[in-house]
């Protein structure tokens, strides 16, 4: 079983969202007896919505593990098609 939650938010228009207010985001994923590690490789993204005044955005990806530890990619400045590798 793989559980994925993805959200794209234009901070310039909507501000920073507190996703813990939404039921689907505040509920923790149930732990299973046989937990298996999954390795994720982030290579690139395409056609990210513009968020800066110059029509581009500073892209990064955040993920959280089951223990709540936050991991984040490096920030790729001024692009709509970031390459993370």
Q: Does residue 1 lie in a domain region? A: no
For the stretch 34-85, pLDDT in tens is 667 777 788 888 889 898 899 999 999 888 877 778 888 899 999 999 998 7
Secondary structure, 3-state, 22-69: CHHHHCCCCCCCCCCCCCCCCCECCCCCCCCCCCCEEECCEEECCCCC
* pTM (2 d.p.): 0.55
Q: Does residue 74 lie in a domain region? A: yes
β 76-79/57-59 pair status: antiparallel
**Confidence at 2, pLDDT banded by 50, 70, 90:** low
Domain count, the chain: 1
Q: How far is CA 36 from the centre of its chain?
A: 21
Residue 83: what pLDDT? Answer: 92
Q: 76 vs 29, which has greater pLDDT? A: 76
Q: Which helix (H) or strand (E) holds 14?
A: helix 11-14
Question: CA triplet 7, 5, 48: central angle to 5 degrees?
Answer: 30
Domain enclosing residue 70, as ranges: 8-85
Q: Does residue 65 lie in a domain region? A: yes
Q: Does residue 46 lie in a domain region? A: yes
**Other CB atoms within 10 A of residue 47 CB:** 6
Q: Does residue 2 lie in a domain region? A: no
Residue 80: what pLDDT? Answer: 93
Residue 74: what pLDDT? Answer: 92
Q: Does residue 77 lie in a domain region? A: yes
Q: Does residue 70 lie in a domain region? A: yes
């Amino acid at each position: 079983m793989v559980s994925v939650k993805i959200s794209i938010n234009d901070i310039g228009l909507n501000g920073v969202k507190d996703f813990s207010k939404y039921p689907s985001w505040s509920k923790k994923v149930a732990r299973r007896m046989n937990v298996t590690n999954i390795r994720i490789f982030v290579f690139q993204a395409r056609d990210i919505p513009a968020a800066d005044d110059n029509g581009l955005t500073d892209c990064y990806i955040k993920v959280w593990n089951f223990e709540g530890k936050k991991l984040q990619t490096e920030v790729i400045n001024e692009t709509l098609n970031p390459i993370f590798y």
